[in-house]
């Protein structure tokens, strides 16, 4: 084997749902003693990267501060309302309008370019939303692996009705939340979703953005954008899912479905780390875990509705709710909260919670990570879809018989939530199906198989 340094450079946006699986994989390689590991992301994630060290370090490469326009966590309340509205197409359109910023992408490209000059990577492992990193790998002819924390069809289905796609022509377009197969009305809706997405880019306002993108690409010597290029040119695509969680279609050989990428568990070190949470779980027989990700912003009415859900199920089930500190002022007075509700602003490990046998259902927003994590541990789901891909996971989970979706996710009706939770908790078939799919995820290999596949690539040998 060659003794020449063969650096591996990971690149990811800073959002937890995108970054975390990449950190787990980087740490697995570090634990194996793989040398020359680098991780490029935004400055606020420096400590997270540095904690990924194992037998060898994972060097942090800063891409500067987070651009608020590109980070859903820091979008204004007005933008948040637009991207989480009930119309799936309008929400999809709002995300594109907000995040399609060629000037900011170009700045990240230049910062990553400086990192590449310093590191000289033999291989890049790129999170699928980091388009500037894909552009750089293509321009510099650096072999790259694409990391996908979504369902496989999310990156294999084109939004362009005339573009190439790895899925069948009548397959549901990402972010539509449509089922498969579809009836005639749904097929028409699916086609209109694609056509409206295409029409979005001939709008005069978006036309100016496209012109700016073309100018910047010419200046940087970048190829013209093509949605499937990241798949076509990748050495390999690592997808944190299994075929059985998506609708059936022929998956290309270069896509390796490895299941959810999990760290070794438990992650928390004991009572001193989890503030007695494990002890609390150990003494409960039926717990509903409520966790809606890092992007969800609840209103006072929605918080009150969720408290009412716990109240109505008091005496039957316990509730553990991860509610961020900045949203806890929306809670009713502490003395009026039901006794079966435990609220935490932070958990040392959501995975430890989901792995606990007392947790019987995961009430989630249905994001890619949360959806796969819940199923990995064999937990049925109740889904309150938040935006874009959440609706796609929700419809597949319902069709697979592992979850139910709220009828009115925007308002959160307590009666609707109680009904869905009661049905999932009361029917053992939901759990049996989730456990079977969890077994398939674990058999797919996760972080260890991903590391094996990466280390076997020609670029590193």
As a whole number, mean pLDDT of residues 332-348 equals: 94
**The pTM is what?**
0.95
Whether residue 402 has pLDDT greater than 90: yes
Which CATH number is 8-259+445-460 given? Answer: 3.40.50.2000
Residue 232's pLDDT is what?
A: 96
The 3-class SS string of the chain reads: CCCCCCCEEEECCCCHHHHHHHHHHHHHHHHCCCCCEEEEECHHHHHHHHCCCCCCCEEEEECCCCCHHHCHHHCCHHHHHHHCCCCHHHHHHHHHHHHCCHHHHHHHHHHHHHHHHHHCCCEEEEECCCHHHHHHHHHHCCCEEEEECCCHHHHHCCCCCCCCCCCCCCCCCCCCCCCCCCCHHHHHHHHHHHHHHHHHCCCHHHHHHHHHHHHHHHHHCCCCCCCCHHHHCCCEEEECCCHHHCCCCCCCCCEEECCCCCCCCCCCCCHHHHCCHHHHHHCCCCEEEEECCCCCCCCHHHHHHHHHHHHHCCCCCEEEEECCHHHHHHCCCHHHCCCCEEEECCCCCHHHHHHCCCEEEEEECCCHHHHHHHHHCCCCEEECCCCCHHHHHHHHHHHHCCEEECCCCCCCCHHHHHHHHHHHHHCHHHHHHHHHHHHHHHHHCHHHHHHHHHHCCHHHC
What residue segments make up the domains of the chain, in order of their start? 8-259+445-460, 271-443
What average pLDDT does range 176-202 have in this prediction?
A: 95
How do residues 18-57 score in pLDDT, each as one tens digit?
999 999 999 999 999 999 999 999 999 999 999 999 999 9
Higher pLDDT, 322 or 203: 322
pLDDT at residue 224 greater than cutoff 90:
no
Q: Whose structure tokens read 């199906």? A: 433
Asked if the model's pLDDT at residue 116 lies above 80, the reply is yes
Say if 8-259+445-460 and 271-443 have the same CATH topology.
yes
Domain 271-443 in CATH: superfamily? Answer: Glycogen Phosphorylase B; (3.40.50.2000)
Q: Mean of the pLDDT values across residues 396-417?
A: 96
| Residues of the chain above pLDDT 90, percent | 89
Residue 3 pLDDT greater than 90, yes or no: no
Residue range 428-432: mean pLDDT, rounded: 98
The distance between the two most distant Cα atoms of the chain, rounded to a whole number of Å, is 66
In the predicted model, is pLDDT for residue 419 greater than 60? yes
Average pLDDT (394-407) is 98
Residue 1 confidence (pLDDT):
42
User: Rounded to an integer, what distance in angstroms lies between the CA atom of residue 223 and that of residue 292?
Assistant: 38
The stretch 87-91 carries a mean pLDDT of 95
Mean pLDDT of 131-142: 96
């Amino acid at each position: 084997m060659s003794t020449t340094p063969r650096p591996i450079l990971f690149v990811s946006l800073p959002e937890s749902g995108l970054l975390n699986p990449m950190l787990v994989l980087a740490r697995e390689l570090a634990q194996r003693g793989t040398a020359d590991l680098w991780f490029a992301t935004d400055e606020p994630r420096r400590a997270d990267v540095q904690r990924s060290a194992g037998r060898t370090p994972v060097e942090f490469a800063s891409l500067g501060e987070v651009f608020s326009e590109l980070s859903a966590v820091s979008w204004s309340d007005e933008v948040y309302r637009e991207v989480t509205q009930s119309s799936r197409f309008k929400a999809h359109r709002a995300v594109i309008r907000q995040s399609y910023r060629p000037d900011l992408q170009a700045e990240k490209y230049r910062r990553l370019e400086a990192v590449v000059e310093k590191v000289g990577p033999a291989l890049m492992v790129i999170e699928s939303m980091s388009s500037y990193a894909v552009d750089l790998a293509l321009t510099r002819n650096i072999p790259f692996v694409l990391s996908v924390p979504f369902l496989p069809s999310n990156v294999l289905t084109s939004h362009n009705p005339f573009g190439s796609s790895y899925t069948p022509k009548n397959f549901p377009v990402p972010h539509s939340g449509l089922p498969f197969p579809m009836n005639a009305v749904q097929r028409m809706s699916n086609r209109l979703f694609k056509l409206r997405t295409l029409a979005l880019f001939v709008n005069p306002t978006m036309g100016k953005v496209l012109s700016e993108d073309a100018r910047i690409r010419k200046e940087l010597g970048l190829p013209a954008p093509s949605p499937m290029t990241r798949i076509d040119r990748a050495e390999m695509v690592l997808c944190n899912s299994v075929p059985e969680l998506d609708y059936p279609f022929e998956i290309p050989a270069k896509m390796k479905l490895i299941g959810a990428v999990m760290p070794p568990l438990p992650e928390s070190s004991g009572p001193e780390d989890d503030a007695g949470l494990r002890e609390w779980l150990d003494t409960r027989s039926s717990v509903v875990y409520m966790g809606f990700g890092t992007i969800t912003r609840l209103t006072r009415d929605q918080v009150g509705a969720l408290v009412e859900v716990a109240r109505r199920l008091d005496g039957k089930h316990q509730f553990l709710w991860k509610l961020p500190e900045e949203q806890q002022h929306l809670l009713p007075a502490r003395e009026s909260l039901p006794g079966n509700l435990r609220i935490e602003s932070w958990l040392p490990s959501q995975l430890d919670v989901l792995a606990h046998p007392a947790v019987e259902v995961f009430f989630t927003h249905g994001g890619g990570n949360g959806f796969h994590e819940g199923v990995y541990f064999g937990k049925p789901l109740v889904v309150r879809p938040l935006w874009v891909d959440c609706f796609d996971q929700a419809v597949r989970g319902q069709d697979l018989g592992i979850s139910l979706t709220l009828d009115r996710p925007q308002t959160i009706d307590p009666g609707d939530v109680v009904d869905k939770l009661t049905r999932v908790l009361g029917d053992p078939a939901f759990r049996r199906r989730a456990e079977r799919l969890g077994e398939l995820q674990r058999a797919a290999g996760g972080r260890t198989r991903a590391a094996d596949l990466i280390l076997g690539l020609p670029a590193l040998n």
